[in-house]
Amino acid sequence: MSVDIDFLRPAMLALMPLAVLPLIARATEAGGYPDVGWLPADPLGRGIGLALRAMAALAIAALVIALAAPGRPRTVELRTGRGAEVLLLIDRSRSMDERMLPNDWRRLGPFEIRHQTRSRGRVKSQAARELLGEFVARRPDDRFAVSFFSASTLHVVPFTDHDEVVQAGIAAGGVHRGLSETDVGRALVSSLARFEKRAYTGSRIILLVSDGGARLDRDTQMAIRAGFERQRVTLYWIYLKGFGRPDLEQAGEASAAIPEVALHRFFQTLPTPYRAYQAESPEDLAAAVADVGREQNHPLDFEERIPRSDHSRRFVAAALLLVASLLVARRWELRGTS
Amino acid sequence: MIARRAAADWRLTAAGALLVAALLMPPLPWPRSNYDFLAVFDISQSMGVTDYRQQGRPVARLDYARRALAAALTELPCGSRLGLAAFTGYRSLMLLAPVEVCEHYGDLLATLAQIDERMRWAEASEITKGLYWALRAARDIGGEPELLFFTDGHESPPLDGPPPALFGDLRKGQIHGLVIGTGGNLPRPIPKRDSAGRDRGFWLPDEVAQGRGPDRRNEHLSARREPHLQALAFRTGLDYLRLEDFHGLSAAMQAAPRVRRREVPTDLSWVPLALALALLCAAPLGALIGNRGVRGSHRPHP
Amino acid sequence: MKASGDFHYRIGSRIGGWRPGAHAGLARGAGDDFVVHASLFERPDPRRVDLRASLRDPRGDWLVRVARQRSQVAVAAAVDVSASMNFGTPARKLDLAADFVAALGRASFAAGDPLSLCAFDRCCHDDLRTPPTRQPGLAELFASRLRSTPCRSSGHDGLIDALMPLAGRQALVFLVSDFHGYGSDLDAALDLLVRARVTPIVVWSPDEIEPPDQDGLLRLRDLESGRLRDLWLRPRLRSRWRAAVAERRRTLQARFLARGIRPFFLTAPFDGDALTRHFLEGE
């Protein structure tokens, strides 16, 4: 723990000489007396009087210090908390602008579903953004990074514990429609590189939010596998399954031709933990996000930025105490000589 | 005498009350001048031309623009907000919704550092449309920030004929801000980079889309296209600024019409503190400098 | 019983001067204060021929009664208006001094003596000075001006200047002051007044000599030097206070008595009878 002190308004300390005023100034409220030399010397009274003036001086000094706003500067402390480093990798392709099933889709007939989904369902990207926003807000101990991907990967927010910036990054994803292409393989390689040169602190997660898959070529697969192995990153895939889109868990050889299933099967071969959540409606999405939140609570060493702590209140309190004591002491002060 | 003592009692009591107020006082909303910006960077290939110099070293247009903005940020009053976006192809894409610049200065710099050619999701550079999209972004992000559109004006493919008309949902002058002309006057070759950011020499004349007329065959070279950008600025109701130095950008950003008055929760406890200090110092200070000669009369004041 | 505001002064010794007045004087003249017989040749005043004495005179001269006339005496008062006189409630010490001056005006008018008044602090106040006069109104006016004097400056260096017109003269001089902080300058002033009959009026406020009854912190500031003195009032300190006052009184008395002067201690309210007694006791 450092004892550094800094001042927000150091110029105010120039007022410090005011503190000697009560010591040097003639007390104006003291009663006049023709010749004090005549009176008996009283060390007790002298001591009390001196103490009162010292208290007044201290009150002024405390006020001047409080005005200068002392505090411990912003520091970084190494803390162990429960949390993770989470990279939110969000698909920003145009298909994410499509709608999900409405919440009451189970009660709808098969004919209505298609129609109602077009008109009523939540837009996938919007639902994902809102839930991710909540997820971030509920996990203050985690450090987040936000990246979007389409044809290229847009690493928008590098790892930070400033939730506000993370939320701003997520919110930016909602401005206007998505881009045309997606390259999830490239995005994963590039995202894994984000963990490079960062101290391994406990728990690393890539939270992939997308609605589509891809068949990855062998080079990309190797790069991804190596990346996950080296960086020890857990992968969560929240698959926003649109109406009529393939189920990840389809069995059979033939289904390997479906990009989503192919991607899922590749992820299952990764050396690090992997889980997939298929979300068809906002409900499912919320359940998936909550699930991730429950699972990842490993101890995490992280550098916590301790904001500047202001100490001026302590000095105000000290000054108040002194002023109050002076006020109380006045009860024993005789009024004049009469 | 009595009145003097009563005044002293009153001063002490008032000082105590002010101190209590200072302790209990929450931050109060207080109008302060600050600024809202949405900075959009052209990340197309021509922004890699190194026609700026800093400390004797060549600096690419995009790098210079980012550094200029980073420098200007330090001069913005706290409470100002900045959002970031990038432009390539025909679209400006919002990257970071506006956040406060003092609290998140480090994060803004980190995000700013990410805005480079590796982000590029398309190879074209239709600046006119990109600016229109940027205007839309500024309109839709909330708070209608001032737009800062950093570009060299190099359209690719080149515009043949009149530039595209302003999108129907946009009005001229709805969004204010600056089109910031980045780059030098002399046409220079455009460096070629692959998707991993490696240098691959320069673009050759037959590798780029050239214009139709015989005088439009130099699209492989790039300079700041000022008349085009000025025309664009005029059409959209923005101001035009030529990016020459950091100070010029900062000054243009803080020009009077861009000031926003916003109520920011402000710790005003210094006000009661200063008053309490004045009350505590009044009597001894007055005794020291002022009416030194006045000896307290024992008579009550009439 | 309200103390009388009037007093009468007396002069113990005979005074010189030819101007007739109310006091026993040295000058010979019309009076009933018989001194000696002289022959009519020496004193050709047939109105004062003493027949009985002439008859008894062995030489058979006509004898004339020679008497001393009653003379007047110059009366003067010098009033300290320095800051320490500003003390006391409700009446300041200077107000007490003003009461005294007014009474002196009446007394001198009754005795028919010319009265001159002046005030001093650090310097002699020319604006607070009256020439010798027998008009009673002027003393009253002077007193009222004293009452409105703010008493700002400290010190009493003006005492010598104020007394200079009286130097070496026979007069009745009242020194009105609290006699705080007087040193050798008081001796110098009294040296000036060797031929005068000096009556110091020591003005002390009751607040000044008697400590407050309440216990507690008493913060006092010297009206002249501005020095501070904080006292924690308690019975023991109160007795020390009173002892200090008594000591000061003794010192002052001894100092004046060394010159044959008896000071009069004036505390509120002004008691004329006490002053009259003071003069009677001085016989």
- The pLDDT mean for chain B works out to 84
B237, part of any domain: yes
**pLDDT attached to residue B16:** 93
Residue of B44, B96, B109 to mutate, interface with A, max A Cβ within 10 Å = B96
Q: Which residues of B touch A319 (CB under 8 A)?
A: 19, 276
Q: How far is CA A1 from CA A73, A123, A311, in A?
A: 12, 49, 16
Q: How far is CA B56 from CA B52, B59, B69, B224, in A?
A: 10, 9, 20, 21
Q: Do B85 and A172 touch (CB under 8 A)?
A: yes
- Contact predicate C154/C223, CB 8 Å: yes
* Lowest-confidence segment of B183-197, C3-17, C197-211 by average pLDDT: C3-17
Q: Do B8 and A28 touch (CB under 8 A)?
A: yes
DSSP calls for chain B: -HHHHHHHHHHHHHHHHHHHHHHHPPPEEEEEEE-EEEEEEE-SGGGG---EEETTEEE-HHHHHHHHHHHHHHTSPTT-EEEEEEEEBTEEEEEEEEEETTTTHHHHHHHHHH-SGGG---S-B-HHHHHHHHHHHHHHSSS-PEEEEEE----BSPP-SSPPPPPTT--TTSS-EEEEE-S-SS-EEPEEE-TT--EEEE--GGGS---SSGGG--TTEE---HHHHHHHHHHHT-EEEE---HHHHHHHHT-GGG-EEEEEEE--THHHHHHHHHHHHHHHHHHHHS-SSPPPPSSPP-
Q: Do C221 and B293 touch (CB under 8 A)?
A: no
- Contact predicate C196/C171, CB 8 Å: yes
Q: Return residues 240-299 of B near C (CB < 8 Å).
A: 293-299
- The pLDDT mean for chain C works out to 83
Closest CA relative to residue A320, chosen from A58, A72, A86: A58
State the chains in contact with B (3 or more Cβ–Cβ pairs under 8 Å). Answer: A, C
Please state the φ and ψ torsions of residue A58, each to the nearest 5 degrees: -65, -40
Domain architecture of chain C: domains with CATH: 20-71 (no CATH), 74-281 (3.40.50.410)
**Mind listing the pLDDT tens digit for each residue in A42-68?**
899 889 988 988 999 999 999 999 999
Residue of B5, B295, B297, B301 to mutate, interface with C, max C Cβ within 10 Å = B295
Q: Do A42 and C231 touch (CB under 8 A)?
A: yes
Q: By CA distance, what is A314's nearest residue in B?
A: B23
Give the bridge partners for A277, in sequence order: A238
**pLDDT attached to residue A135:** 84
B123, part of any domain: yes
**Mind listing the pLDDT tens digit for each residue in A269-298?**
999 888 888 887 777 777 777 777 776 666
**pLDDT attached to residue C148:** 86
Q: Which residues of B touch C152 (CB under 8 A)?
A: 293-295
- Contact predicate A86/A205, CB 8 Å: yes
Rounded distance, CA A169 to CA A153, Å?
14
* pLDDT band at A37; cut points 50, 70, 90: confident
Partner residue facing C87 (CB), from B293, B298, B300: B298
- CATH code of the domain in which B73 resides: 3.40.50.410
pLDDT tops 80 at residue A145: yes
Residue C89 to chain A, least CA–CA distance (Å): 7
Partner residue facing B4 (CB), from A28, A151, A190: A28
B288, part of any domain: no
- CB atoms near residue B296 (< 10 Å): 19
Q: By CA distance, what is B294's nearest residue in C?
A: C152
Q: Do B274 and A168 touch (CB under 8 A)?
A: no
Please state the separation of Cα B259 from the chain's center in Å: 11
Rounded distance, CA C206 to CA C76, Å?
26
Tell me the mean pLDDT in the region B32-58: 89
Q: Do C226 and A26 touch (CB under 8 A)?
A: yes
State the chains in contact with A (3 or more Cβ–Cβ pairs under 8 Å). Answer: B, C
Closest CA relative to residue A15, chosen from A49, A65, A50: A65
- Contact predicate C83/C122, CB 8 Å: no
Q: Where in chain A is the domain with CATH 3.40.50.410?
A: 78-305
- Does B98 lie at the interface with A, CB-CB under 8 angstroms? yes
Q: Do A30 and C243 touch (CB under 8 A)?
A: no
Q: Do A152 and B104 touch (CB under 8 A)?
A: no
Give the bridge partners for C175, in sequence order: C78, C200
What string of H, E and C letters represents the secondary structure of C5-31? Answer: CCCCCCCCCCECCCCEEEEEEEEEEEE
* pLDDT band at A301; cut points 50, 70, 90: low
- Does C80 lie at the interface with A, CB-CB under 8 angstroms? no
B136, part of any domain: yes
B142, part of any domain: yes
pLDDT tops 90 at residue B151: yes
User: Which residue has better confidence, B126 or A292?
Assistant: B126
Q: Do B299 and C83 touch (CB under 8 A)?
A: no
Phi-psi region of B173 (alpha: psi -120 to 50; beta: other; left: phi over 0): left
Residue written as token pair 């990309």: A220
User: Which residue has better confidence, A296 or B104?
Assistant: B104
Tell me the mean pLDDT in the region C246-272: 89
> In the CATH scheme, what architecture does the domain A78-305 have?
3-Layer(aba) Sandwich (3.40)
Partner residue facing B280 (CB), from A59, A313, A330: A59
Q: Which residues of C touch A37 (CB under 8 A)?
A: 181, 222, 227
Domain count, chain B: 1
* pLDDT band at B132; cut points 50, 70, 90: very high
Closest CA relative to residue C128, chosen from C94, C172, C79, C86: C79
pLDDT tops 70 at residue B298: no
- Does C87 lie at the interface with A, CB-CB under 8 angstroms? yes
Closest CA relative to residue C104, chosen from C174, C167, C204: C174
Task: Kindly tell me the sign of the dihedral angle through the C-alpha atoms of B183, B184, B186, B192.
Answer: negative
B183, part of any domain: yes
Residue written as token pair 């302590």: A314
* B12 burial type by CB count under 10 A (0-12 exposed, 13-18 middle, 19+ buried): buried
B224, part of any domain: yes
Q: Which residues of A touch C241 (CB under 8 A)?
A: 39-40
Domain that holds residue B216: 30-263
- Does A117 lie at the interface with B, CB-CB under 8 angstroms? no
Q: Which 8-state DSSP code applies to residue A312?
A: H
Closest CA relative to residue C48, chosen from C62, C59, C58: C62
Q: How far is CA A170 from CA B148, C59, C177, in A?
A: 21, 149, 90
**Tokens representing residue B196 in the block:** 């991993």
Residue A89 to chain B, least CA–CA distance (Å): 13
